[in-house]
Amino acid sequence: MASHRKSRSTGTRVAGIRTPALATAALTSVALLSQTANAAPSDDRPSLEEVEKKVDDLYRQAGSATEKYNAAKEKTSKQRKKVDTLLDDVAKRTQKLNDARTELGSFASAQYRTGASVPETATLLLADSPQDYFDQNQLMNRLTGRQKTAVDDYVTQQSETMKKRQEATEGLDTLTDSQNDLKTAKSTVQKKLATARELLSELTAEEKARLAAIEKKKQEEAARKAAELAKQQAAEEAERKRQEEAAQQQGSGSSSGSSESPTPGSSNGTQAQKALAFAQAQIGKPYVWGATGPGSYDCSGLTQAAWKAAGVTLPRTTYDQVNAGTTVSVSQAQPGDLVFFYDDISHVGLYVGDGKMVHAPKPGAYVREESIFYDGESSIYSVVRPA
């Protein structure tokens, strides 16, 4: 006879106790959920290296946006002055037009009082296009010499006034576009910096210490590169002098291996020394994007102010400063030269010598002297000698 007893499910034993299959599944799910919960923070959170890269990228993007802001600000300032001049001109020409209209009106009134019949003169004052009337030979033949002069003056003043009004309208449109570009660049800088600050604020004390150690290692490597460049430049200078002495001994009086560096006492050398002295005097002042001194600077604001102190006017932005002189190789860099960085030419420093420069690095930092290899040799875009 078949048994009616239900078969027992094959569970698992936990500590010698048989556990029902359903309970086993539940325990497994709990264990998996627990593991997932424990792993989530580490999986979602970026590594320290990723944070460092993101922050560096954000600072670079903010620097690039700062130069766009500087360019838009300069363009807006120039355009505003241009528009103000145009509006003043329009006001003056409008007054002259009104004076010419008044004079024509006086002729019409006089003719009316004396019974003269030149109704077209009065009519043209109300016309949208007086030229249509002036082109009629019969009217011009009936005007006196003084009246003809007044008519010609009216036509000229109206034409010039309309032209200037059109220029002012177009100028105002351009000014609006520049102001919008300025707002966009400003917003971009602020957003990039805010994101960078947020990322840094989430780091633990231990992570900040590790980040500082990474930065220190990068600085040590940059210093080593600077020392190598200084050694190379010293060797090249020694060779240049040797060749000069050899040429003088031969009586040639020329230097067969002279470098592109300014000779001591030359105008360029003196200006470079003044620019460098000014830049070094700013060390310790804070980086502030868009600033041109005297209390704070951004990178191009510092180099512009430094060379201005030497009597040389540089453009405001890195994009324009890079074209304001002669490009030389890194090994030929001399004190006072401008060192530009990154493919988008968004950073610049003033070369000191021995592979070092003075620059305004980034938000949260201060004007300082450090290796031109601070962000790696590949970050150097070019070296330019102003004046």
CA distance 281 to 306: 10
Task: Report the alpha-carbon distance of residue 211 to residue 134 in Å, rounded.
Answer: 81
Is 4 an active-site residue? Answer: no
Q: Which residues pair with 341 in a beta bridge?
A: 347, 380
Q: Of residues 359, 367, 371, 374, which has the active-site annotation?
A: 359
CA distance 186 to 289: 10
Q: How far apart are CA 120 and CA 118, in angstroms?
A: 5
Beta bridge partners of 13: 18
Is-cis flag, bond preceding 294, omega within 30?
yes
Interatomic CA distance for residues 353 and 278, integer angstroms: 15
Spot the catalytic one: 186, 316, 347, 385: 347
Which of 320, 67, 41, 367 shows the shortest CA–CA distance to 192?
67
Residues near 294 by Cβ (< 8 Å), separated by ≥ 6?
305
Q: Of 62, 90, 100, 299, which is the active-site residue?
A: 299
299 is catalytic: yes
The total of other beta-carbon atoms located within 10 Å of residue 360's CB is 31
Which residues are annotated as catalytic? Answer: 299, 347, 359
